[in-house]
Structures are given as structure tokens and as C-alpha cells.
Amino acid sequence: MMKQREVTTPDNTQWTCVQAYSAVNSDAADKAATLSETDTGGVPVVCTPSGGAQTVRLELEKDWLDNLSDKELAQAIQAAQ
């Protein structure tokens, strides 16, 4: 199952965020995810808003699913818009 998080920004837009490459569960996906890590050790995350507005690509820490607060995730989305 794809790991994802939902967060609502202060403008009341609901966003669904998933780590790029997380949809495939295999050694190849693990390798792709490792290769996709940036020089700073971040991972690419794609956030899609409800209502069809522009998708936002973020670079977040590898532990963003568990350790990034909703507020921090919302701020990252807003900063990237």
C-alpha cells in the first residue's frame, strides 16, 4: 500500500502527499527511491490538492511521513506554491 499523508493548508485546501516511487513495492522501487534521494538526503514528495489546483513537488527529510508535523508539511506546501 502506498504511504501517504493528508494535510489541510490555512486556505482550507486539502492536500494528499506521497513520496515519489512509493507506489511500487519492489527491489527496483527501493533502488529508485534510494537513487532519488538528493544530495542533502531528502526525498521527492508530490502533493496533490483537492479541487485540481497545481500539484506541488517538495523535497523533504526521509522520515517526513512519521516525523514532520502537519503544520510543517502545510508550510512546505505553501512555500513551494
Name the pLDDT band for 53 (thresholds 50, 70, 90).
confident
Question: Which residues neighbour 3 within 8 Å (Cβ) at sequence distance 6 or greater?
Answer: 18, 19, 22, 65
pLDDT at 58 > cutoff 80:
yes
pTM reported for the whole predicted model: 0.73
The one-letter code for the residue type at 2 is M
Give the position of cell 532519488.
36
The arithmetic mean of pLDDT across residues 28-45, rounded, is: 62
Q: How far is CA 68 from CA 7, 27, 29, 59, in A?
A: 11, 26, 23, 12
